[in-house]
Amino acid sequence: MPPDAGAVRAGAGGRPGRARRLLLASSAHQLRTPSVQKQGLTLTFPTLPSTISKVEEFIASGQTDPDPLIDIVEHDPSVSLNVLRRVNSPYHGLRREVESIDRAVRLLGFVEVSSIVMIEGVEELREHFDAHSALLRQIAHSAVFTGRFAQGLTKALDVEEDWTRLAFSAGFIHAMGRLVLLHIQPDRYATLAEAGTMPLPDTEAEAHAFGENYRTLAPQAADHWELPERVCSVLQIAANPADEPESSSKMLGVSIRNGGDLARRDLDENFAASLDTPEDSEDSEASEDSSVSRIDDLMMTVAQDASTYASEVGHF
C-alpha cells in the first residue's frame, strides 16, 4: 500500500501542499507493473452499456448544462427509478417528494447522478456474469469508490476544475479494468480473488496470473470502448505515473491510483458483508425493489467512505 494510503486514517493536521507532494512522491515508490510475459491471454472486452458511454462523453465534454444528463436518465426507466428513489431518500431530507426527473437531476448534481447511471450500467451486466454476481458488485463498489475518492481529493488539493470534473468518470473506468479480466477468464479470476486475503486481487497477483493487471487494462478498454481521449490519457498516467512530469493530469492519475488501492481496503473493512446478492424473487416487483435498494445502499456507503478518505488525505 502506498505511503499516503496507509496514512489516510491518521488525519494529521498540516497543509494541503504537503498532501500534494506526498501523493506525487508516492507514485515514484509504488511498484511498477511487473514485466511478465502474457500467459496466453487473448484480450477481449465486454460490451460497455450505452448509458455509461454517454455519461463518460458528457463529463469529458466539460458541459455544465445538465440537460444531456437529464435526457440520459429520462430514456432509461430503471435509472429514472433509482434517481427518484435517491433524491427522495431520508439522506437528503426533502420536505416534498420530487416527481420530476429534471428537478431530481438538478438537486442531486452530476456526480451523484452519474454514479447511479454507471452502477445501473454494471447491473445490466449481471446476466453475463451470473455465476460471479458478488464479484461483479465488488468491482462496482471499487469503481464508484475510486471515482468518488479521486474527485474529492482533487477538489481538496485545488486541482483545476476541468480535471476535477473528469476525476469521477476516469476513476470509475480505471477500476473497470478488473471487469476485462473477469470477462476473459471468469472462473480463473474468481479463483484468484478467493485466494487473496482481501477482496479483489492486487495488481501483482493479476499480473502473475494473466500477464496484465486491471491498471494496464483500463486504458486499453477505454480505447476499445472509444471513450474520450482525455479519459484514456488519464488512465494511461494512472497505470504508470512515475515518468510523468508534475501536472494536473498526473495529480489526477495518482489520485485515481491511490483510490483504487483504498477501495480494496474499504471493501474489506466496511462493505464486504453486504455484497451477497439475495436469491432472485419470483415476484418481479419485489426483485426490482431489491435491486434499487442495493444500488441505493451502495451509493450511500461508498460516497460517505470515499469522501472521508479524500477529506483526510487532502488536509494532511
pLDDT confidence tier of residue 300, bands split at 50, 70 and 90: low
Report the range of poorest mean pLDDT among 31-35, 202-206, 284-288: 31-35
Indicate if the pLDDT at residue 291 is higher than 70.
no
Please tell me the distance from the alpha carbon of residue 118 to that of residue 203, in angstroms, as a whole number: 23
- pLDDT digits over 28-61, tens only? 444 343 333 345 678 899 998 888 888 888 888 8
Q: Where are the domains of the chain?
A: 15-30+40-277+288-314
Of 296, 235, 309, 238, the C-alpha closest to 267 is 309
Per-residue pLDDT, averaged over 215-234, amounts to 94
What was the pLDDT predicted at 7? 38
Secondary structure letter of residue 64 according to DSSP: -
- Secondary structure (DSSP) of 204-268: HHHHHHHS--HHHHHHHHHHHTT--HHHHHHHHHHH--TTSPSSHHHHHHHHHHHHHHHHHHHII
Instruction: Domain 15-30+40-277+288-314: give its CATH code.
Output: 1.10.3210.10
Taken in order 140, 145, 146, 147, the sign of the CA dihedral is positive
Per-residue pLDDT, averaged over 248-258, amounts to 92
Please tell me the distance from the alpha carbon of residue 279 to that of residue 217, in angstroms, as a whole number: 32
CB-CB contact of 275 with 141 (8 Å): yes
pTM for the full predicted model: 0.75
Of residues 286 and 220, more confidently modeled: 220
